[in-house]
Amino acid sequence: MKITGEFQITDWKENVEHDFDDGSKLSSALVKQCYQGGIQGDSVVKYQMAYDANGQAQFLGFETFSGQYNEASCRLILKHDGCFEKGVARSEFVIIESVPDKSLVGLKGQFETLSDGTARYEITF
């Protein structure tokens, strides 16, 4: 069984924490998103990113989602491990907290951005 849908980034605030002489950098971003599909609601993500000199990045982050799943209110916390390559962001994530439905804890998922600023997500049971 899978939970699928899309999300739209609604706000992105990125701060460069360190620029290196070779063009690489470390930064953090606070990102707001709106979800549709199997889960519906809003989330806030805090990413830590390491960019190489070519603008490709590896990132880690924690996301707090508040909304609806199976027509019931829920809150999820996701732990992300992803990359940004050739203009596309991809992440694998795991649900580390789920309130009130604890059965979602431990489920894994992934997302991939699309060219229009949206992303497709999939959570697998």
pLDDT of residue 60: 98
* Tokens representing residue 25 in the block: 């950098």
C-alpha distances (whole Å) from 52 to each of 14, 23, 27, 115 are: 16, 7, 11, 22
Give the Å distances, CA to CA, from 90 to 18, 84, 86. 23, 6, 11
State the pTM of this model.
Answer: 0.94
Distances (CA, A) of 85 to 29, 56, 62, 77, 95: 17, 5, 20, 25, 24
Q: Where are the domains of the chain?
A: 2-124
CATH number for the domain running over 2-124: 2.40.350.10
Q: How would you write the pLDDT of the chain (125 residues) with one tens digit per residue?
A: 999 999 999 999 999 999 999 999 999 999 999 999 999 999 999 999 999 999 999 999 999 999 999 999 999 999 999 999 999 999 999 999 999 999 999 999 999 998 887 999 999 99
